Structures are given as structure tokens and as C-alpha cells.
Structure 1
Amino acid sequence: MDPSMALRMDGEWHVGDGPDDLDAFLEEIGAEGYDVHEIRHSACGQCGAGVFGVSGDPVEGTMRRTCRQCEAEHFVAGSGEYWSEDDVQVMVCVCEEEGFDVAVGYSLYPNGKGIRSLATAERCVACGKIGSFTRWMVRGGEMELLDLA
């Protein structure tokens, strides 16, 4: 790991210097009680940018990321199938900014042939604070979700 990049604590918050710090955060928090084995960073499928607005229902395990450069929307890890406008929350950092680096940590079954659970991680690009908007069990093992961060 680059020594200039380091996950650290600032009071109750994890703080990172760049998107790569999301990896250490996901490895620390796990995915619904399981170790994280694969981590994928989000990039806009339209323009390739990496800063997003985040919204969804953290309780139900849905998340949509909206590119801050081109406004393209993407449902993370197939969660659009469960999307409902009823309980949508918009992620806002404690510094009141809404632009985030996003990564998804996946816990795989021991045989590596399926996804058991996942967790998201978001780093505010303004202040570096890191949090996890949502996590959910997959159980069905759908490996294609690895490509839907």
C-alpha cells in the first residue's frame, strides 16, 4: 500500500486520503458478519468518472449511484430489482457534501463459486470521511454482481 494513503480514525469516523482506502475499510467492517474477499471500485459506465451521489434504502439494501460528471445512474449490485421510491434516503456527509468514491466488498462462499453477502463503502471526496451506506445478504451466489459495483 502507498504510505501516503492511510485509513485512520478521526473521532468516530474512519478517514481516508483516496479511494484505495475503501479497501482497508471494507476488510475491517466485513459484509454482514463475513470476511470480504473481493472489492470492486465503482466507475461510471458512461464517462468513466469516479465521483457519485448516493441514494437508496439502507435498511432494504438498495443503492443507486449517480455520476457527478454526466448524471448517469446505476443500481449497485442489482439492487434496482428491489428499488422503491417510498423510503429513499440521500447520503450526505457530516461535512454536508454529497460527492463520494464508492466501492463494494463481496464475501464469497468458501468454494469461491458464489457471493454470500456484500457491503458498500463511500469516501467523501471533500473531507475523506468513510462510511457504509448499506449491506445485504445475497445468498443466491450471483457472481455477475461482482461486475455491478
Structure 2
Amino acid sequence: MDTNRQDKSPRPSTATDDAAQPPSVLDDTQALLAELRGLGFDHLRLAALETQRAGESLVSMVMAGVMVAILLMAAWLGLLAALVLSVTENNLVLPSVAILLAVVFNLLLALICCGIIRRKKHYLHFPSTLRSFQGIPSKQQNTGQP
């Protein structure tokens, strides 16, 4: 064998050869799409994790709200019971009348709260937002002319 003879077969490319050649547009596009896919997956995963955390927080808040409502109801009933007892101990009214007055007072407050709810329910339909979606009528529609 001749050691001085040069091999005419193509040699495999090395990292130094690849660094010398700029990447093609197709390679750049494929790399960009792969990166965008990864970024989109990361955003979806983050949204899913935050949604899970928000759901857990909402459940905790609702549970705490229910507990607060129960405690406030117990405090209100205790306040009414103390008021009824103090009125009956001083012989101002009969116990049955004092209890009846407490019930009427509670019903009156419930009626006031229902009125507030009825007045505010209109805003649950997002009236301003719906009006903004309808747009501004043109002059032809206002005057009735074609």
C-alpha cells in the first residue's frame, strides 16, 4: 500500500465544517417552529397550573365564605335572642310578642335585601358591553331614509 496516496472518497463532515457553513432558511424555519411549539406547550402548561391553583383558591374562598355566613347567622340569632330576653325580663312585652317582633324584623330585612338584588340584577346582563357590540346606528337608520 502506498501511504503517500490520497484517498479520493468523500470524507465525513466535521463540526468545524458545519460551523463554517451558515444554516439554511429551511433549518432556521424548522428550528423556529420547534421552539414555538415548545413555547406554546409551556404557556398551556402554565395556564393549566394557574387554572388549577385558581380553582383550589376559589373552593377555599367559598368554604370560608360559607363558614363566615354561618358564624354571622349564629351571632345575629344570638343578638336577637338576647334582645328578646332583655325585653321580656323587663316585662315590657310578652315573650311571644317579642319573638314575633324579631321574626317580623328579620323578614323586613330580607325584603329589603331582595329589593336590592332585584335592582342590581340588571347589571348581570352586561348592558353597556352589549350596547357596545351593537355599534352606533348610521344616519340613514335614524332618519328612516334609504
Same fold (TM over 0.5): no
Larger helix percent: 2
TM-score, with structure 1 as normaliser: 0.15
When normalised by structure 2's length, the TM-score is 0.15
Structure with higher Rg: it is: 2
